[in-house]
Chain A
Amino acid sequence: MHEIKQATHTQVAHEINHEKYEQGLRKDTYLIVVALALLVIVQGYVVYIVLSYAGPAVSAGIRGLYLVFFLLVVGIETIGYWEVRKSLKQHMHELRYYD
């Protein structure tokens, strides 16, 4: 059974157009990088400007809360979207994503 599976995998690997797959993955990677850069720049800019002007209205402890949640939003999304790229790279040939 294992040999049949391996043979099928090898057959699939021969059938696919590797250049097309590399190009497909590269496009998805660009999308991920651009989206993440936009997220960090825009969220960072808005949080910084709003806290610069309105922040003095609350204590330093409360301002820290904003920083914690900003880092959580940006950090978790960045790790999550990079994991998506890892998953695409890992499964693209097996699940024939770019045919």
Chain B
Amino acid sequence: MTESPGLVKSLRPYHVWALGVGIVLVGEYMGWNFTIAKGGVLGSLLAMLVAGTMYVMISLCASELGSATKLAGGPYDWARLFIGPGAAASVGLAVYMEYIALEAADAIVVAFIAQEIWPDLQVFPVTLLVIATLTFINYRGVVAALTLNFFMTAIAFLAIIVFFFSGTFGVFEMNPERLFQGAVPNGLIGLFAALQFGPWFFLGIEGAAMCAEECKHPSRAVPLGQQAGMITLLVGAAMTLFVCTMLLDSGVPAEGLGVSVYPLFEAAQASGVYILIALLALGTLLTCLSSANGCVCDSSRSWFALSRDHFVSPWFSTVHPKYQTPYRAVIFTMPIAIAFAFSGYLDQVITFSIVSGLLCYVLIPFSLIRFRKLFPMNISNVRPFISPLQPWIAWFAMAIAIVIMSTLFWGYKYNLLFALAFYLIAYFYFHNRHKKHIKHFDWSKEMGWPNPSHHDIKE
């Protein structure tokens, strides 16, 4: 690793929260309801709880790894330090693809919303404008980009809370009988099939730790902000599922909630309360923008980290002298996001993003297991935050990620096989490329840590 050329260190816990929740909250405004189409109300609840368990465990792993390494690459850097170069570059690429595909999908949805409000607008130019504007904001500085995310995310989350409590306290009528009518329309197999869309509730929360290198106190900001983010998403997911299943029909898988494009907004329309309709419409728009904004931030950091270690051209690892952002990596997100956006296959783009994420969810806990093995000592400069119940929860998280990945065989067999082949090729390509730049890794100089335990055994 070359020395970091000076990313600005000014982020606080609420920025970490804004980055993590900002990326993910869009999944609670749209997309999660595909669990209803597969497994009904109970399928959706099971998917939320199983995926929630996996993400709680992964976010604890990410909090420990992020606060220990304090590097911008997140999962890429953890795999590089504790697994190996081939796995590291593959996971770095997976993170890049996961977020950039999500950014493209978010930008398309923003354009569609804009077109619904102003029918004269064209989708493609608006998509381009959204991507270009967010790239410019991230080019100008990480603090401004994530402060903007904080306000957009806070409004969108507040909209969910207001909607939930309005229903619970009788502002509009709820229909609990819908819960039984749409309980398990596809039988027990549907409960299992619904798991494939469970990650929608939380997809990308691990990215909160990717701003560790830019935090003022990463060992405080990362665990505090990331776990607050995880709780926000768990609360938001439960509230969303509750109000939507009470207000929209989920009895027939091919109709109603299971196929809704904007389920929270449609549930607000079903409530008939004008202020709630306006609030949830605003929330839908803001959550798409904040997700795309966070994705530009995270994907550029992953590319920056890959570049810094010569897996891709080192030209991308330059930091802007004035704004202290990895500006070339930021700008480079734009053509790739545009290429994804203009491919025209939104569902394929999203599925690729999910498979990329699931690959990370196998490698993040594995990185933690390796980290614990290489550095068993709990000293503050190595491990300022010690996540509990390890390594059991790391193994359990990997098992759940593999089970969820296997459920993609129902309906997305070719996407899954293509994505796995893509990352296998990437693994061998980067493994060979790394050989050209191989050099001795000095843990003391690069990380300020003692040598790992296996060094002692050899010596």
Q: Point out residues on A near B: beta carbons under 8 Å.
A: 28, 31-32, 35-36, 38-39, 42-43, 45-47, 49-51, 53-58, 62, 65-66, 69-70, 72-73, 76-77, 79-81, 83-84, 87-88, 90-92, 94-97
B328 nearest CB across to chain A (Å): 32
A-B contact count (CB 8 A): 139
Which candidate, B132-140, B148-156, B228-236, B266-274, is the interface stretch facing chain A? B228-236
Instruction: Confirm or deny: B319 has a beta carbon within 8 angstroms of a beta carbon on chain A.
Output: no
**A73–B56 contact, CB under 8 A?**
yes
Chain B interface size band reads 35 or more
Please indicate the chain B residues that have their CB under 8 angstroms from the CB of A47 in the complex: 45, 49, 238
Please indicate the chain A residues that have their CB under 8 angstroms from the CB of B57 in the complex: 76
Please indicate the chain B residues that have their CB under 8 angstroms from the CB of A58 in the complex: 42, 183-184, 188, 191
Beyond A54-B42, A83-B388, 11 additional pairs, beta carbon < 8 A: A35-B227, A39-B231, A42-B239, A54-B182, A54-B184, A57-B184, A58-B184, A77-B227, A81-B231, A84-B63, A96-B217
Which candidate, B85-93, B288-296, B378-386, B449-457, is the interface stretch facing chain A? B378-386
Complex A-B: 15 CB contacts under 8 Å = A35-B227, A35-B228, A38-B231, A39-B231, A42-B164, A47-B45, A50-B45, A54-B184, A66-B49, A81-B231, A84-B385, A87-B223, A88-B224, A95-B219, A95-B380
Q: Which 7 A-B pairs have the closest CB atoms?
A: A57-B183, A69-B49, A53-B179, A54-B183, A46-B238, A54-B179, A84-B223
**B46–A87 contact, CB under 8 A?**
no
Please indicate the chain A residues that have their CB under 8 angstroms from the CB of B238 in the complex: 42-43, 45-47
Please indicate the chain A residues that have their CB under 8 angstroms from the CB of B40 in the complex: 54
Docked Cα-Cα span, A80 to B220, in Å, equals: 14
CB-based nearest A residue for B59: A80
User: Which residues of B38-64 have CB atoms within 8 Å of chain A's CB atoms?
Assistant: 40-42, 45-46, 49-50, 52-53, 56-57, 60, 63
**B49–A70 contact, CB under 8 A?**
yes
B3 nearest CB across to chain A (Å): 21
**A73–B180 contact, CB under 8 A?**
no
Q: Which of A49, A56, A81, A90 is packed against the most chain B CB atoms within 10 Å?
A: A81
Instruction: Confirm or deny: B389 has a beta carbon within 8 angstroms of a beta carbon on chain A.
Output: yes
**B387–A80 contact, CB under 8 A?**
yes
Please indicate the chain A residues that have their CB under 8 angstroms from the CB of B53 in the complex: 69, 72-73, 76
CB-based nearest A residue for B235: A42
Please indicate the chain B residues that have their CB under 8 angstroms from the CB of A87 in the complex: 219, 223, 384-386
**A97–B231 contact, CB under 8 A?**
no
**B227–A80 contact, CB under 8 A?**
yes
**A50–B179 contact, CB under 8 A?**
yes
Docked Cα-Cα span, A50 to B232, in Å, equals: 20
**A76–B179 contact, CB under 8 A?**
no
Given A54-B180, A58-B184, A97-B217, CB of A36 within 8 Å of CB of B231: yes
**B217–A43 contact, CB under 8 A?**
no
B268 nearest CB across to chain A (Å): 18
Looking at the complex, which one of A56, A57, A80, A95 makes contact with B60 (CB distance below 8 Å)?
A80
CB-based nearest A residue for B182: A54
CB-based nearest B residue for A67: B49
Docked Cα-Cα span, A31 to B441, in Å, equals: 40
**B217–A54 contact, CB under 8 A?**
no
Docked Cα-Cα span, A32 to B226, in Å, equals: 12
Please indicate the chain A residues that have their CB under 8 angstroms from the CB of B60 in the complex: 76, 80
Instruction: Confirm or deny: B393 has a beta carbon within 8 angstroms of a beta carbon on chain A.
Output: yes
Instruction: Confirm or deny: B245 has a beta carbon within 8 angstroms of a beta carbon on chain A.
Output: yes
CB-based nearest B residue for A80: B60
**B49–A83 contact, CB under 8 A?**
no
Please indicate the chain B residues that have their CB under 8 angstroms from the CB of A88 in the complex: 220, 224
Instruction: Confirm or deny: B241 has a beta carbon within 8 angstroms of a beta carbon on chain A.
Output: yes
Looking at the complex, which one of A55, A70, A77, A94 makes contact with B230 (CB distance below 8 Å)?
A77
Instruction: Confirm or deny: B459 has a beta carbon within 8 angstroms of a beta carbon on chain A.
Output: no
**B380–A94 contact, CB under 8 A?**
yes
